[in-house]
C-alpha cells in the first residue's frame, strides 16, 4: 500500500490593509431624534421653569397674573413650547453643522492644500499628492485622493485612448464630488424649513392670543386696559420668539451654504487642474 504524501497547505492570503478613511465628516444622521429631544426639553422648560408658581400672583399659573417676563411667556399658551422646540432645534443643528463642516474642511487651510496639490501635479509627484491628501483629510482631500488614484490607474493603462481616459477622469471627479455632497448638506434642508416655519408658528400664536384677548374684553362688557395690554403682550411673545427662530435659521442656513460653496469651488478647481494636467502630459 503506497503512502500518500500530504499536500502542502495553500499559502494564506495576506490580509488586505484597511484603507484609512480620508473623508471623516462628523454629523448627526438622525435629525428627528434631535427634534424629539428638543421637544422634551422645551416642554420641561415650559412647565417647570416658565410655569413655576412664583412667577404669578397668588402662586396660581392658571388664573394669576404674570409677575415677570417668564410668567408672561408662559401665558403665551401651548404654542410657546412648540416655538421653543423649533428654536432649540435650529441652535442644535447649527452647532452640529459647525462641527461637521469643520471636519469636512480638514486639518489645514483648504486654499493652501489646493495650491500644494497643483504644485505636485505640475512636478509629476502624484504619490506625494496622495500622501498630502491623507494628511489633510476632509471632503476636498477625499475627492482629490479618489481622482488621483484613478489618475494613476489610467496612467498605466495602454489600451484606452486619451479621450476615453479624460472622460473617465472627469466622471471620477463628478462621482467623488457627488458622494461628498450629501454629508456636507445634511440637516440643512431642515434648517431651511425652520426659516419659514418658525415665523408662521409665531404668527399663529399671536393671532390666537389676540383672539383670546378680544374675547375676554367682549365678555367683560367694559374695556379693561390692563387686561388688554397683558393679552397683547402675551400674544406678541409668540411673534418675537417666532421671528427670532426664523432669523437665526436664515443666518445659519446662508452661513453654512456659503461654506459649502467654498468647499465645492475648491473641489472644482483642483479637479479641473488634475484633468488639465493629465491632458497636457499624455
**Predicted model pTM:** 0.84
For 225-276, how does the pLDDT look when each residue is reduced to its tens digit (9 = 90+)?
A: 666 766 777 788 889 999 999 999 999 999 999 999 999 999 999 999 999 9
Residue at 3 is within a domain: no
DSSP sequence for 139-162 = HHHHHHHHHHHHHHHHHH--SS-H
Three cell numbers, residue 82? 412648540
Q: For the chain, first and last CA: distance in Å?
A: 66
Residue at 15 is within a domain: no
Residue at 6 is within a domain: no
Residue at 78 is within a domain: yes
Domain count, the chain: 1
Q: Is 120 exposed, middle or buried (0-12, 13-18, 19+ CB in 10 A)?
A: buried
For 76-112, how does the pLDDT look when each residue is reduced to its tens digit (9 = 90+)?
A: 888 999 999 999 999 999 999 999 999 998 888 999 9
Residue at 187 is within a domain: yes
For 170-208, how does the pLDDT look when each residue is reduced to its tens digit (9 = 90+)?
A: 999 999 999 999 999 999 999 999 999 999 999 998 888
Phi, psi of 27 (to 5 degrees): -170, 170
Whole-number Å distance between alpha carbons of 266 and 141: 10
Residue at 13 is within a domain: no
Q: What percent of the chain has pLDDT over 70?
A: 88
* 75, pLDDT greater than 70: yes
Q: What share of the chain is helix, strand, coil (3-state, %, to 5)?
A: 75, 0, 20
> Which residues partner with 56 through β-bridges?
66
Residue count of the chain, please give it.
282
Report in angstroms the alpha-carbon separations of 51 from 69, 70, 81. 11, 8, 11
**Structural domain that includes position 237:** 31-281
Determine how many CB atoms are found less than 10 A away from the CB of residue 136.
Answer: 23
Sign of the CA dihedral running 195, 205, 240, 74: negative
* 121, pLDDT greater than 80: yes
Residue at 51 is within a domain: yes
Residue labelled with grid coordinates 484633468: 275
Residue at 26 is within a domain: no
For 6-34, how does the pLDDT look when each residue is reduced to its tens digit (9 = 90+)?
A: 544 444 444 444 445 676 777 888 889 99
Amino acid at each position: 500500500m503506497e503512502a500518500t504524501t500530504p499536500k502542502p497547505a495553500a499559502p494564506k492570503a495576506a490580509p488586505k490593509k484597511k484603507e484609512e478613511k480620508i473623508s471623516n465628516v462628523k454629523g448627526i444622521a438622525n435629525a428627528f431624534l434631535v427634534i424629539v429631544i428638543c421637544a422634551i426639553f422645551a416642554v420641561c422648560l415650559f412647565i417647570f421653569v416658565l410655569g413655576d408658581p412664583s412667577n404669578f400672583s397668588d402662586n396660581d399659573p392658571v388664573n394669576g397674573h404674570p409677575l415677570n417676563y417668564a410668567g408672561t411667556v408662559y401665558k403665551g399658551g401651548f404654542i410657546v413650547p412648540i416655538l421653543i422646540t423649533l428654536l432649540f432645534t435650529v441652535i442644535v443643528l447649527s452647532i452640529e453643522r459647525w462641527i461637521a463642516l469643520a471636519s469636512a474642511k480638514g486639518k489645514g487651510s483648504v486654499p493652501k492644500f489646493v495650491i500644494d496639490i497643483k504644485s505636485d501635479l505640475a512636478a509629476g509627484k502624484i504619490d506625494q499628492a496622495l500622501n498630502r491628501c491623507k494628511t489633510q483629510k476632509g471632503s476636498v482631500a477625499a475627492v482629490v485622493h479618489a481622482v488621483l488614484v484613478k489618475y494613476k490607474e489610467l496612467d498605466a493603462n495602454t489600451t484606452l485612448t486619451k479621450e476615453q481616459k479624460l472622460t473617465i477622469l472627469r466622471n471620477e471627479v463628478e462621482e467623488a464630488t457627488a458622494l461628498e455632497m450629501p454629508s456636507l448638506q445634511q440637516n440643512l434642508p431642515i434648517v431651511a424649513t425652520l426659516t419659514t416655519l418658525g415665523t408662521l408658528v409665531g404668527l399663529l400664536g399671536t393671532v390666537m392670543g389676540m383672539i383670546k384677548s378680544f374675547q375676554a374684553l367682549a365678555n367683560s362688557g367694559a374695556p379693561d386696559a390692563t387686561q388688554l395690554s397683558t393679552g397683547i403682550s402675551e400674544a406678541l411673545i409668540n411673534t418675537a420668539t417666532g421671528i427670532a427662530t426664523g432669523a437665526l435659521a436664515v443666518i445659519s442656513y446662508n452661513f453654512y451654504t456659503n461654506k459649502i460653496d467654498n468647499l465645492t469651488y475648491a473641489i472644482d478647481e483642483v479637479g479641473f487642474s488634475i484633468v488639465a494636467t493629465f491632458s497636457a502630459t499624455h
